[in-house]
Structure 1
Amino acid sequence: MSDFLVVGGGVIGMLTTLQLADAGHSVTLVERGECGREASWAGGGIVSPLYPWRYSAPISRLSAWSEGRYPELALRLLEETGIDPEYRQKGLLYLRVDEEAAAMAWARDLGKPLERVSADFLYAKEPAAAPGCEEALWMPTLGSLRNPRLARALSTRLQAIPRVTLLEGCEVERLEARGGRVDAVKTGRGRYRADQVVVCGGAWAASLLASVDVNLPVRPVKGQMIQFQAPPSLVRRVVLMDGRYVIPRADGRVLAGSTLEESGFDKSLSATARESLWASATRIVPALADCAVVHHWAGLRPGSPDGVPFIGAVPGFTNLHVNAGHYRNGLVLAPAATRLLVDELLGREPIVDPLPYRLAGPLPG
């Protein structure tokens, strides 16, 4: 029996497992499919909320802590696995922002570099950006990751740690509880037990907790994206305009996203979404109209009522915990969200106040 059993092999589940293993604990990670192939794979990899000044303080606190950890994490994984997550700190350009005062106030409060820049600065940084902009907002410290490679690097690292048991293609059917304690996790391949159980099931977290009569207000929210094959350096950094964005990769590929769709667990693709994404991407960078769209996909974000994730002990249970509901910011918040929960699990001083992320209800006595 392991010290910990983690349900869900996305970035949240894998980082939780890695931190627990780093602390010397045995961990079983159970994933219904392939690790990192759901929301963690489908997102864009921007290491910041899109418009960070629109978010509440609990999200800003986690985001600020996380952003500074990704360079170190990317280097560690590259050294340990040979897989490069391609962390790129090239900054972000915001075009046509109509809430500049709020953005600048947010930046001052957090000590975050953000400045208004001229057209000359904008087009020196991004010559192919939408023409006719007289100014932009510039966040020089923003980074991005190639999230599928981050997920592959994390999975590869976990497989090399002897005290980690990684079970892929192992769907959890239900949690089995008695007397305020989870006795076992029932899967299609049998029952697994651990001293402590952590649910990191993303959009599926609510159904997992429902098996022990816990109501977790997390729902799937579909997002579709497309990818262009562009010449290297056509787009050099993340550019955001009118709620849509383009994200360059080192090999010239450019991601464009994304939609927000309330359609349950349906991940089907639509021509309407593809056309909308193509139109917004070619407004941001008109030269993308001459580039082929080589991929179109969808993923399911774990939506929560106000975007603030649920992190901590599940009320009424002595050994059940959750880390889910990160909505559009799972990758952004992952280092801090997982560290916060691991601190709680191991009795360490938390990095931020854990109260805003707790599930409502009395904790077990």
Structure 2
Amino acid sequence: MTSQVRIAIIGGGIVGLTTAYYLKQSGFDNITLFDDGTGQATKAAAGIISPWLSKRRNKRWYTLAKLGAQLYSEIVATAHLSSGAYRQNGTIVTRHDSEKLAALYELALQRLADTPTMQAVEQLKPSEIETYIPGVKTPAAGILVTGGAQIDGTIFLQELTAFLGLKIIHEKVNLTATGQIDGYPVFDKIVLATGAWLAEAIAPLGLTTSVRPQKGQLISYQTPALSINTPVLMPEGEYDYLPIVNGVIVGASHEDDQGFDLTVDNTIINNLRASAGKINPQLANVAPTSVRVGTRAYTPDFAPFFGQLPDFKHIYAASGLGSSGLTTGPAIAKLLAALIIDSKIELSAYTKPITEYIN
């Protein structure tokens, strides 16, 4: 009986919450989620869901990312999420070199052939990009993928949490040496969706991991109201430019040497401001209205991983999602939920064995 299976999920970001979603869809309703929210990458993120033009050679990553992008439409429809949480407003990617742009367009057409989620692709002149995104000035041409989407991590989590009606305990918890949560009754299944904090989470089990933290910062501006259909811009050589209801977000940074530091770094903020001014000259001398800071999780091979801990069969873990976590997160969650239901499912098309990352 699924209702009698007690499940704990540690971590309330994109993986933790969507794992709860898929478990609930499968009839599991005795789920407790633990989340202290510290430095969470999802809450700090304004993500771009558009993996199809990536030239990363990691086939497992692309398979995950492609699946993750596809899954959002079902989640959004089922949970009745708003356009503030998720919207398919298109993505524009620019290239300064015409040959590189032509190669990227060819790649887009190849992937469009078997990826309905992309919807359509179109080449754009600089003037056409500027028409799509008011205020932007670009010397480079680009490619529009109309199926590209945008997610606000904070709003997405709030709305999905409300839909699920989960029991959430807002505190930091620790595992015992036997793989239970210290101070709580025994759980039948435990999911570790702790991101960059995985090493700390599994230390009581006598395990270590190669996961490292990466700091990310982004800035927001208030601008004249933009349409919810205004595309995201991914300009070559600059930070990403994401429209929101009453402004834009610019970012995010990738800082490998800051550990778990969540303080705002003015040097990075100045770099973000300089990039914003190049993309939209109207922002050149305008102060940002807010700053977000979060901590991503990375592995040495820049690949996400997930699965069942070999010596603790009731514990499942996922980490290493990096800057594409909002894209791969739902796919990882769906597969984790499937693994909890049937431990024999095959994951090799999506991830290396978990023992490659946890020792």
CA contact (8 A) 1:245 1:284 kept: no
How much has 1:360 moved relative to structure 2?
2.2
Aligned to 1:165: 167
Give percent identity, aligned residues only.
Answer: 25
Amino acid across the alignment from 1:103: L
**1:287 to 1:355, Cα distance in 2 relative to 1, 3 A:** closer
Runs of 4+ with deviation above 6 angstroms: none
In structure 1, the partner of 2:193 is: 200
Confirm or deny: 8 A CA contact 2:306 2:318 kept in the other structure: yes
Q: Is the 8 A contact 2:90 2:144 kept in 1?
A: yes
Tell me how far 1:243 sits from its aligned partner: 4.5
> 1:56 aligned to 45, 55, 58, which one?
58
Partner residue of 1:156 out of 152, 162, 168: 162
CA contact (8 A) 1:94 1:239 kept: yes
Report if the CA contact (8 A) 2:85-2:159 is conserved. Answer: no
What residue identity is the alignment partner of 2:46?
A: G
**Which residue in the other structure is 2:181 paired with?**
185
**Cα separation, 2, equivalents of 1:233 and 1:361:** 45
One-letter amino acid of the counterpart of residue 47, structure 1: I
What amino acid maps onto 2:294 in structure 1? G
Contact 1:5 1:28 in 2 (8 A): yes
How far apart are 1:352 and its partner, in Å?
6.5
Q: CA deviation at 1:215?
A: 2.0
1:126 and 2:133 are equivalent in the alignment? yes
| 2:11 is the counterpart of 1:8 | yes
CA, structure 1 residues 328+272, in 2 after alignment: closer, same or farther (shift >3 Å)?
same
Provide, for residues 253-292 of structure 1, a one-character-per-residue CA deviation record: whole Å limited to 9, x for no partner: 2100011112111111111111100111111122223644
Aligned equivalent of 1:229: 222
Where in structure 2 are the equivalents of 1:254-265 lying within 5 Å? 254-262=248-256, 263-265=258-260
In structure 1, the partner of 2:33 is 29
Structure 2 letter corresponding to 1:227: S
Give the SS at the match of 1:132.
Answer: coil
Please show how residues 255-334 of structure 1 align to structure 2 within 5 Å. Answer: 255-262=249-256, 263-289=258-284, 291-334=286-329
Given that 1:85 and 1:147 are in contact with CA atoms closer than 8 Å, whether structure 2 keeps it comes out as no
Structure 2 unaligned spans of 5+: 113-117
| TM superposition shift of 1:124 | 2.8
Equivalent residue for 1:337? 332
User: Secondary structure at the residue paired with 2:310?
Assistant: coil
Q: CA deviation at 1:85?
A: 4.2
Q: Which runs of 5+ in 1 are unaligned?
A: none
Say which SS state the counterpart of residue 20 (structure 2) adopts.
helix
Q: 1:351 to 1:292 in 2, by over 3 A?
A: farther
- 1:352–1:103 distance in 2 versus 1, CA, 3 Å: farther
- The count of corresponding residues between Structure 1 and Structure 2 is 343
SS at match of 2:217: strand
SS of 2:293's partner is strand
Q: CA RMSD in A?
A: 2.8
1:210 corresponds to which residue?
203
Give the C-alpha shift of residue 350 in structure 1: 5.7
Amino acid at match of 1:48: S
Q: Secondary structure at the match of 1:319?
A: strand
- For the 8 Å contact 2:209–2:357, the answer to whether it is kept is no
Q: Compute the TM-score of the two structures, normalised by the length of structure 1.
A: 0.85
Structure 2 residue 101 is matched with structure 1 residue 100: yes
Distance of 2:297 and 2:356 partners within structure 1: 21
- Find the residue that maps to 2:215 and give its secondary structure: strand
CA shift in 2, pair 1:216/1:23, >3 Å: same
CA distance in 2, matches of 1:191, 1:27: 13
